[in-house]
A and B are shown apart, each in its own frame.
Chain A
């Protein structure tokens, strides 16, 4: 079964999605990430989707699930590099990625995660999933 690699970098996990997403692959990523956060008590997850050219409602929901689940496990998820066409399409499709924190690129995403960890930035984040 094809799987997306998860890299451990200190307190963080880094995932770079370099292939086209499909349902099973996205589902595997969700469960693998939850297991890995649990295993290492990771504090942050960075998901780089700059190479992903399509996200539909199923894969979008999984990104949302990952953000919510990691938060419950006390880890922050940041999604970086969403292509503008993908972002616009998701909005028109009707999917708002509520609760998914995003950044322009990996570097900015890392800064964001570090800031959240070390600056005592424990602001509560609200996650609504109106459709669930």
Chain B
């Protein structure tokens, strides 16, 4: 089990929902739902756009490499700020080398290899857990003022 954590803080969840992702047609409704959460916490258009773009990248990975899965959207607060946390859970093959997968330009899918590293740049907190044969879970948090 490989774990990469960055700045995990104690947060409270105010609102939460789970969405199943099994096909490409599930992507646009998911992006819209994540946007709703961003709007609700008062996020700027720029931060909403960053969060939704990150969501779009990670849900593509979940479908393409993880064979589908589920996404949990939460509105969270840490006492100082409110934000949106999105968790992408699949039971796919897992990632053999996270360090490599986090590198700009690394792709086993003949695409640009920007999904994981780019997503990390777009959000405030990024956490990835993966286990070979058991799947991958990526959690991102974007704070309203982050």
A131 on the B face (CB < 8 A)? yes
Instruction: Tell yes or no: A56 within 8 A of B by CB.
Output: yes
A26 to B49 CA separation, bound complex (whole angstroms): 19
A54–B118 contact, CB under 8 A?
Answer: no
A2 CA / B22 CA spacing, docked (Å): 19
Query: A89 and B114: CB pair below 8 A?
Result: no
Least Cβ–Cβ distance between A65 and chain B, in angstroms? 11
Q: When the two chains form their complex, are residues B49 and A86 in contact, meaning their CB atoms are under 8 A apart?
A: yes
Say which residue of B46, B113, B114 sits within 8 Å of A85 (CB atoms).
B46
27 cross-chain CB contacts under 8 A: A20-B28, A20-B31, A23-B24, A53-B49, A54-B52, A56-B53, A56-B56, A56-B57, A57-B111, A57-B115, A58-B60, A83-B49, A84-B46, A85-B45, A85-B46, A85-B48, A86-B49, A88-B46, A88-B49, A89-B46, A89-B122, A92-B122, A93-B118, A93-B122, A94-B118, A95-B114, A131-B114
A94 touches B117 (CB 8 A): yes
The reply to whether B53 and A94 form a contact with Cβ atoms under 8 Å apart is no
Residues in B lying within 8 Å of A, measured CB to CB: 24, 27-28, 31-32, 45-46, 48-50, 52-53, 56-57, 60, 104-105, 111-115, 117-119, 121-122
A interface vs B, CB < 8 Å?
20, 22-24, 53-58, 61, 83-86, 88-89, 92-95, 130-131
| In contact, A55 and B104 (Cβ under 8 angstroms) | no
B56 to A, closest residue via Cβ? A56
B27 touches A22 (CB 8 A): yes
Chain B interface mostly helix, strand, loop or mixed? Answer: helix
* Interchain CB contact under 8 A, A54 and B122: no
Q: How far is the CA of A79 from the CA of B104 in the complex (A)?
A: 26
With a cutoff of 8 Å between Cβ atoms, the chain A residues found around residue B31 in the complex are 20, 54
Chain B residues lying within 8 Å of A58, measured Cβ to Cβ, are 60, 111-112
Complex partner residue of A95 from B24, B27, B49, B112, CB under 8 angstroms: B112
